[in-house]
Structure 1
Amino acid sequence: MSTKYIFLACLFLLLSVRSTATTEETQKQIADSLYICLSKAETPADSLWIMENLYDVLPRANGNLLGLELFDVANRAGNSSAALNILRQLANRYLANDSMLMELYNKTLSYHDGPTPTVDSPYRASSDELKETRTFLRFARNIHRANHASEAKRRELLQELINTHTLNQPTDIYDQAVLLHSICTMLSRTGSDAMLTRYVDKLDTLIQQLPASAISLHNAYYVHAALIYSQANQFEKAYQCDRKTLEAIRQLEKQYKDRGRYFRNYDSSRYVIYQRILSNHTKLSQPELEKYYKLAMQLVAKNPEVAETNRNYPGPQIFYNMAIKNYAQALEHIKHCINTPYVTNSSYRLMQLLRNEIECAEAVNDKETLLEASRRYNKKLESYLSERLDEKYKELQVIYDSYEMRNSYDKLQLEKQNAEAESMYMIVAIAAVAIFILLISVVILFRLYRNNRKLARTLDKSNRALRAESSHLEKSKSDLLKARDEAKKANYMKTDFIKNMSYEVKAPLKAINEYCKLITDCSDASNKKYLERFSSLVELNSELLSTIINDVLHISEIDSESVPVHNRPVELRPLCTMVLDGVRHRLSPDVALMFDTASPYICLFTDPQRVHQILLNLLTNAAKFTPKGSITLAYSVDSEKETVTFSVTDTGIGIKADKKDLIFERFVKLDKETQGAGLGLTISRLLARILGGDVILDTTYTKGARFLLILPKNKILKIQ
């Protein structure tokens, strides 16, 4: 039987079933017919068209395995376009499997776009299609990474990506698109609407510069952007993206039909787009409303899979009836689906439907439904606002970090430009002087025998020019010194301002505490217990405020390098006792504060005030995160390393090992609900380093947290 006959038979079988509804039974009949045709195919090229239609007809689980076989068949048939196309389709099916996405990407490395194949790249493909496929697969990996990374990892990756985009953008347009797409997918998981839409707009500008033939990249962007713009209430942009997605689908269908793929079905995608367009019905004209509602309901009647989706969530009917003010019918549809998992599993969809239910119930005067919907909406809104507040805080942190990075980069660039300008100035000056001297030398050699007096005048002129240049350099040096002094003065003024503010706040706080005590002392016995409790609360919060002010003052002093250090011999046991007494009032009732009596009696040559401050910060931190159990202070001498190590050990909530460096950064608080400015550990480490030591987290201890203050021995005297 000839190949031509086989294909004519296949085409007849396909066209005979194509007009019927694609039920599961019909799909099985089509698949069986295609398998018959495939068994009679003689070459890879004969098999390719049949297998492509099989891939479109078979259920997803079976189609995945067939897709990998189809890739190999396309290569054997010499059809690189079909091979790269199936890689892009498989990427959509393996979004949850990063290792598979990586394997698909590695398969693209076997292609080259040059004139000569290599051992590693035996297949030839067009440059644009190869770049399109690799970029599409990288888009898919971006989505997987955003969906499966932890919150902390997403934030870390997002910061790195934004820094790269700000400071070191790639030059290749496809690499730029991948970078912006990665930022957008990360931001879409954090809910940072304002920042997200800005980056989506940037990505849109970049996508428009890609070749029009890269339909898969345009489509991937428009699908993602439409959802983002819709959730950000930018309905016009969402509508434009949806229209472009529909146009991209139309082009893809035409391409597939031209290649003989009759069963490539985009009904589900179209239905989702029509539903999203109808959800913004207030922005649609009446003809547009009727058009998209009719298209959506035609898909429901035509496609069983779409019909099942519509039964679970009749979105088109809800939005259409609301648009034509048939609120009773819309409310009936809403009640049918509002408690289904499809709705309740999506906060955005549930809140949207609750708002619609409230509007419909109010319109038909259904007070019971209105009350219940309002109650559920308010409860959901509280949760949503809380999440948005946290997300906005994280967004501000990212913006701040990006600003700091940009500021540092600008400073480095300015310093580099100044250095280059200085170097260029010196080179020009030296070159000018050299040329000038050379000319003078030529003139001298040429006119030496007859013009000694003219030579003297020329030399005098040169000296004056050099003196003027020297004067100019002296002035530049003076200006630089003046600028340095002004910067130092500004830094000192900042420190003095913080000190003055500290004094101005502490005095009223002290007065408030004293007045509270006076009121308590003067009250009668019946109110005294209550007032004592109130006075203690005021005193505690005043102390917390003073601690925050002191922390800011200390960090300012450290930054200005004005922290005095007064080393002297100090006995460690009395010092530890004093620190323990200073923190005892901060403990919870169920916490035992202990000192390890095995610590030796020694005298250390150091600054007792700074050591006291560091230990007090560490013990206060332990008291804050230890609701019950114990806190133990101890110290030991390491003769081999010539260090003295203080340890503060608690049985509190503990700190993860991967946070061991993060907790020492400024203003970092692992628990946002705790009091304080997040400066205690930062100040402790900076002071320890001023003393020649360090503060670290002992990650080997897992029953709570253990911080170690390590100081150099200097001179140690044993106390008898």
Structure 2
Amino acid sequence: MKTTSHISVLFIATCLLAIAACNKKQDYTPKTTLADSLISASTSVQDLDRALFLSDSLLETGDISMFRSCYTKGSIYMRTGKPQDAEAILKRALAEKPQNAYDSLFYFQCLKAMVEHTDQKNDDEGVLRIALPAYEGLYALVSQPEYASEAYDILAEILQCVGRCQLNQGLTTEAEKYFEKCYECIQKVRALDSSWKHDYYATVFLYTIANSYSSRHDYSTAEKWLNYAETITKDMANKDNVPAFITDMSWSTYYLDRATISNGLGKQKVADQAYAAYKRTQYAKTDIAQIYEGEYLMQAKRYAQAADVYAIVYQYLAEFGSEPTLDNIAYLTKKFTANYKAGRNDSALSVAAYTFEYLDSAIILQKKNQAIELSTIYHTQQKDAELAEQKAQLLQTRVLALVVALMLAITFFVIYAVIRRRQRIRLEEKNQQLMIANARAEESSRMKTKFIQQISHEIRTPLNILSGYAQVMTATDMEIDNETRNDANQQILENTDRITGLVNKMLELSDVSSRTVISLTDHVSALQIATQAVLSSGIEDVAHLEFQLQDIEGAGQALLSTNEQAAVRVLALLLDNAIKFTAPAEAFGHQLDIDKKRATLLITKLDNQIQFIVEDTGIGVPAAEAEHIFDEFVQLDEYYNGTGIGLTVARSLSRRLGGDVVLDTTYTAGARFVFTLP
């Protein structure tokens, strides 16, 4: 589902670039000064350096406003791969208040660019935080006839972005409202301006909305929005001067979406016809279209065809994947799954091997980045050592001077002794500081190296299992009964899920240091949160553990204003911790049923807080490590599997919810974690 979202974003970007490429001049001509025309002329011929120079110069002379300058520079920085510079420029504009309608137009252009930038980072909360307080101002701008069509275009794009982000967060009703508002804006701008450009942007927005519902298997709603897009696509195709590749791209997108939705609704004949029409388009031959096509073929269980189109994945990663990262492993996993389900075991094995090499490259890249960081630390230490050496040399000079002075007058002896003593103390303090700094640097390096090794082990294990089973099943002289084959299939699926889960956990770690406040819009009972966490962790089905959920004095009936998904995630991580450390470590094998451990989840109320207490009879945590265990990559017992980030993520999420997670050191029968929510 996440990969489809990424492909959709890339598809939209391709569409917008296509529009820009087929218009040699900007559709919107500034109506105020010659300065606007000069900047527009520079950007239209791709003379971006000149456009930046003009923007700064004309702002300095007062010929353009700050909003016009920020929009120009922010757009250029986005196009030239400088997103951080673009973000700083756009934030500067959004911090000011426009004084007239013309400045308002460029203010909202900056707002739209910021929303697009934040959306590409998959930061749903960030999009809502930026767009929701500001977009209403666009309704005032559409009342100005000369700016109405531009304002409706901006408003439609922002509304569909807001709707998609709300849909991602499970706010289905709110998302539908914003999608309907987006469609109203599309209708209004088409009534104001009948040019094909507005029709094309409208279809891009509508296809995106349909795809958002389709990716969540809500095919009925997706079909409604696809029908809207079909009507506008037909109108656009009948207009004059529409570039052929624009029409081809629009129909290609429509046919593939129609095939996906019809297949989801069980309309197989319609799906086959739509897919055949899609294959006749020129756009279907592009890399991005084939990646998108593979999603449909996997959904339709046409695994052989999916494996054929996923042949483009290696080329796609080489051209657009930049440096090897864990994010891109999802493409390789889908390619592996397609080949395996198509019965192409040799190809699946080859993909698994390539994935292993790709993972090694990602780990090497991470080590390289760490080496750069350690090099910086080393140079800092080297500078400190040089400084200490210089001070030592200065000390020697002073000692010689004092010896000479001693020969001249015994009275200077006391002064010499005092100075030398002070210098020695300072030098010792500096050496102590250097020793502490070295120890910290070595500990940091050790922990990061251990983490990389652990991650490599965690992913190598399931990959080796996949490789082993693939070799067994492809052996020509191997006879396998149905029971063994079913077991092999189950093992392959479980280990594929294990890799996917580990990648997701790594992505989750990137959000640990975020200070973004999580939206607390869910009203749920404490018992509901606990029940969902128990189901998510699967603790009730664990063979080695006896589990109980206890609601103390009806505390579970208390209603909380929180974020249900995040709260459930925190509690599930604590339950996972209980499962892990009540089981025997890998090095000691399985235990007997008579050695079963116990785990309990208690819901209690204390003052104005609800406490979720997870206690077990496992190996426990020393009181001295009560805070250390919440640091990243910390594992007290190396014989247990894991990456050392579960408790780190749990505490980060809990604090962003307004609560906390702590270890109760008074409990000695195992471990007891207390998760509080206001």
Task: Quickly name the TM-score band, shorter chain normalised.
Answer: 0.3 to 0.5
TM-score, normalization by structure 1? 0.36
Q: Which has the larger radius of gyration?
A: 1
TM-score, normalization by structure 2? 0.38
